[in-house]
Structure 1
């Protein structure tokens, strides 16, 4: 604590609700992280493609981690609290009690998670309408958005859920309501996942066309009164226009956020969304449905995983830190990326969000051998990381073909802590990757929103300038460009072949 006649310390709390855990940080006015805590949260998968959580469980976890990070601090000095969370759907009744989103009638499980794919037939019917609002979500709506999930509830859980529902929240807006008692929704949530337009408001004809006229009738009171305009944050990058940066938030899944002064319509990429992230700019959001989850899936399913766990534990390392060092051991004289010269992965094990917008696509691996040792596991891990980076390259190329001009990547989220993941993104896109000085940059971002809400800063931009700083810049190994260009050709062939196989199987 500062002494004398200096201003007493001012602190902000950032809370990040991910797919598997809630994390919190105490941050000071300079953006320095002073305390950190995390808490796992429950997930249910009652049947394939159904993924559910509990809003009460998540809120309890938020309370636990927040209390931990403010221990020893005068709470009067905590000036603001900011949340970020997955775009999962929370369902409450008119008295704000949880309602079941499942066939079992378990009201604890009142959240349909972002990665839930139960509403496949609903999203097909919505896309068949070819309604004009769809041009603002890349031409076709994703099964991960809220409209198909709402329609599924109406068609499948009419009596136990739909007819009793009083409030549908995007998870971050639910957290804001729990913290403040205010039901107002954020512009970011409604624009990006609910088809709201910052310029025109709700489009009544869309909801009536898809069979959800209920919302129009009650003046949209169940899904959102616009209130606090909660916007995201970026980092300053000298000498380049803000529109040349692509922010990649990479955790269980990945989001690719690019902005433009004028609306750019990118087939298969969500948006353009006006003022959803940066005031006055249009946002396009690409994404990969599984990234961190895919890496875990590939590594944990390999026969050598128990050996990997034992060796990593013996060194007090994470399994990924151990794999990275193991790759350095086996690469010999060649660059590490060259170990996958004959092993290639197509990463859409949970369908493709962008830019192909095809949830029927599957994962592919070519080049498998009979060996099941640790070398084999490490190289499969590397090929998976590379596949995710090639997916990012494909999204960037789609955005650039439509009119974006991207020259720099900004990475944050859990996977940005993995140096191999970062280097592969630089090498495969051919662009420098900028990392925040604070490793937990997502939490600092949430705290920045809390700092702005406190009134201590005049704007989000001022809070960003004072509280976020560029740390490391990772440059691409341009001498390896030819190799990655060849692997990228194979990457594109994989999906081309998968579509051919599907056509053969559907034919006579």
Structure 2
């Protein structure tokens, strides 16, 4: 048995799995577990999941990570999840979001773009609330998805709906029985305002006035700040399912990316020779990179950034405004580029035989290729190969879901070397996307000097170093690679009463691991490739204009 007195459980539901960690009050992850969750993709742009499947996965992983401690030692639980839409009927049972009618499939996944046309219609209203989402609402947000459900599944779904949750809020409801919502979820994805609450005129104007008539009971009329204790803690039934004690504190939830920011951005950086050491926390950009990426920028005052979501008040750190940039597909784009290439079977076999992951093998291969060509780094291997990486639309700073991926510089060959070079060009393109977002943030008034990075892609040295080199900023990697889980645990720690504020919990539980400084030797090269990067989207829009002309 582990010999410490107080522990906290962080639960993170990502796109493909549910994870949990047992964390102590210093932020050390003592045990970790993961369980897959199912996704249905019945047609392009439609992605659906099951809330029952996700809850069962959460119960499995929580039981695993707490198996070595007494349940009375677990002081609090925090949940985070993707910003996906959950539909339940009036009795709290799953309600279909699928054209095929299966009630099991009751979640519209965050990356679902079925509501693109509805989002476009909402944006034509130019309603005042849209200025808080960069001027244009995304099909990944709740209002367009709700409008799609009303227009396409009225009888099967809309008319029977009793609860419409963001997935993080569904998890706290399932754990506590309380239908309170997180300020994070509602502000960031539902157009709620911390000061003005719901805008009746917005919902009426977009055709969802029926949500107003019952005082927003279906989408949230009780709102709490992240980390505040939800209800009376775990219900008896939830405690049994999770293997914990009834009444264990549950913190108000966060969206997964925001939990990642919470779990690392407050770390003490003294002694690491970082420019942000003597600067406020607002000088730190949190970059949470996995299937997609989120770029979290804090500010003391509200800053409006065209094409970037927010500003959102107290959505991540209490008392501070948040702007949220992002890329709709990052890890997913890298996987797509690799796995659809003709040389993937060869790559997979060679990586397996060498005992390396696919990315490790590719990184080593590129280093060898650079050495053979007497280059100081692999970066300049792809000077004639350019990628625009928005295979799933542009979230920031262009806010254009219609954009698609582009590649310039392909040849007739399709061997392992071609795959490795395309992988490198894609990684660079994603870093240029971060630079694009960073320039928009700084141009609007943010003063950012350091990147803090977590998520699956932060474990890829090439991805991390490329971001440092392209942005010219140092990248901080947290002591605990699982910062999202630490962030979720911080919610439980605060809810337990063991910390007086979220900030004090952040200061104790977030820690610096390693720091990667930017290399300046390839700066001119990256500046030129970035200029090509910007030209590519200009060209794509020009092509679209030509094809739409009469």
**SS of alignment partner, residue 299 of structure 1:** helix
- In structure 2, C-alpha distance between the alignment counterparts of 1:336 and 1:255, rounded to whole Å: 26
Deviation (angstroms), 1:2: 7.6
Q: Give 2:204's match in structure 1, choosing from 197, 208, 214.
A: 208
* Cα distance, 1:2–1:166 mapped onto 2, change above 3 Å: closer
| 1:286-341 CA distance string (max 9 Å, x none) | 11000000000000011111111111111222111111111111112211111111
Q: Determine whether 1:498 maps to 2:540.
A: yes
1:72 to partner: Cα distance: 2.1
Please, which of 121, 124, 128 is the counterpart of residue 125 of structure 1? 121
Quick one: which of 260, 281, 291 aligns to 1:252? 291
Q: Secondary structure at the match of 1:294?
A: helix
Q: Distance in 1 between matches of 2:285 and 2:359?
A: 25
Equivalent position of 1:331 in the other structure? 370
What is the TM-score with the length of structure 1 in the denominator? 0.97
> Within the alignment, does 1:317 sit opposite 2:348 as a pair?
no
Match of 1:14 in 2: 10
Are residues 1:278 and 2:317 paired?
A: yes
Counterparts of 1:220 and 1:42, CA distance in 2: 30
- Say whether 1:470 aligns with 2:509: no
What is residue 235 of structure 2 aligned with on the other side? none
Please say if residues 126 and 141 of structure 1, whose CA atoms lie closer than 8 Å, have aligned partners that are also in contact.
yes
**C-alpha distance in structure 2 between counterparts of 1:81 and 1:310, whole Å:** 41
Within the candidate set 422, 428, 448, 1:406 is matched to 448
**Deviation, structure 1 residue 184:** 0.4
Task: Give, in whole Å, the separation in 2 of the partners of 1:22 and 1:398.
Answer: 33
1:110 matched to 2:106? The reply is yes
**TM-score, structure 2 length as denominator?**
0.90
Match of 2:70 in 1: 74
Q: Secondary structure at the match of 1:217?
A: coil
Are 1:426 and 2:465 counterparts? no
What's the counterpart of residue 45 of structure 1?
A: 41
Matching residue of 2:242: none
Match of 1:301 among 333, 340, 346: 340
Match of 1:192 in 2: 188
Deviations 1:328-370 (A, max 9, x none): 1111221111111111100010110101111111100011112
User: For 1:373-419, what per-residue CA distance to the aligned partner results, in whole angstroms no more than 9, with x for missing partners?
Assistant: 21111111111111111000000111111111111111011111111
Confirm or deny: 8 A CA contact 1:187 1:226 kept in the other structure.
Answer: no
Of 413, 416, 425 in structure 2, the residue corresponding to residue 371 of structure 1 is 413
Are 1:97 and 2:100 an aligned pair? no
Distance in 1 of aligned mates of 2:148 and 2:2? 55
Q: 2:140, 2:430 → 1: CA distance?
A: 19
Shift, 1:225, TM fit: 2.6
Shift of 1:226: 3.0
| Larger RCO: 1 or 2 (CA < 8 Å, sep 6+) | 2
Q: Work out which of the residue numbers 218, 229, 235 in structure 1 matches 2:266.
A: 235
The corresponding residue for 1:26 is 22
Q: Kindly report the root-mean-square deviation, in angstroms, between the aligned alpha carbons of the 2 structures.
A: 1.1
Aligned counterpart in structure 2 of residue 361 of structure 1, from 403, 413, 416: 403
- Structure 2 residue corresponding to 1:386, chosen from 392, 410, 428: 428
CA distance in 2, matches of 1:381, 1:71: 41
| The one of 40, 56, 63 aligned to 1:60 | 56
- Segments of structure 1 that go 5 or more residues without pairing to the other structure are none
Determine the structure 1 residue equivalent to 2:305.
Answer: 266
